[in-house]
Structure 1
């Protein structure tokens, strides 16, 4: 839930704050798939569909689009639940991000085979 410190002068939440939250949510699946350390290497697409307001309750949903030799690309959708007296849920943002599996030295490493 964004707070007043996350808002710009117009009362809307900073896009950068939303981007950071999307990056955190988007990294969960790649971390599991890579079974270890990852790094964000690309924001392939980022679309702000509607402004986010203070006290909107945000939900983030990530789906794996592609698993490569060293990288994982995910699609993240963000929904805001608004107006507690008469709740409404709207999609506010969507993005595609690519993460790369890295070793202890920060160099790309192979993604382990999928567990069965």
Structure 2
């Protein structure tokens, strides 16, 4: 998988709509956390946990009928943690239009069998 490939693609459901008719922000955060966890788990070669979300921006609403694609790239790598930039693009109008809807940096820490931080494997 490359940075040009989405880590996750998902279509929101009617139950995911908030009172404004847009997709609930918590829903998209959970999808981003899932996508980031996939990438972090590959890097850590094992279990990880989300420890921080920073620079989160909601740029445009997600609408019912959008197909969202989540793209990831590593921003920082520490001894036990990795920070991953997650960009969410909504495909609209049956794929005719793409809109960047949100972006954020999620930090994950690698965990050992006792759920304590452990060093990341060499890159």
Using the size of structure 1 for normalisation, the TM-score is 0.93
In structure 1, runs of 5+ residues without a counterpart are: none
Partner residue, 2:107: 98
Measured in 2, the distance between the counterparts of 1:13 and 1:48 equals 11
Is 1:110 matched up with 2:110? no
Deviation of 1:58 (Å): 0.3
Deviation of 1:3 (Å): 0.7
Using the size of structure 2 for normalisation, the TM-score is 0.88
The structure 1 segments of at least 4 consecutive aligned residues displaced by more than 2 Å after TM superposition are none
Corresponding residue SS for 2:43: helix
Superposition RMSD on alpha carbons, in Å?
Answer: 1.1
Greater radius of gyration (CA): 1
Corresponding residue SS for 1:99: strand
Describe how 1:1-116 pairs up with structure 2 within 5 A. Answer: 1-84=11-94, 87-114=96-123
Q: How many residues align?
A: 113
In structure 2, runs of 5+ residues without a counterpart are: 1-10
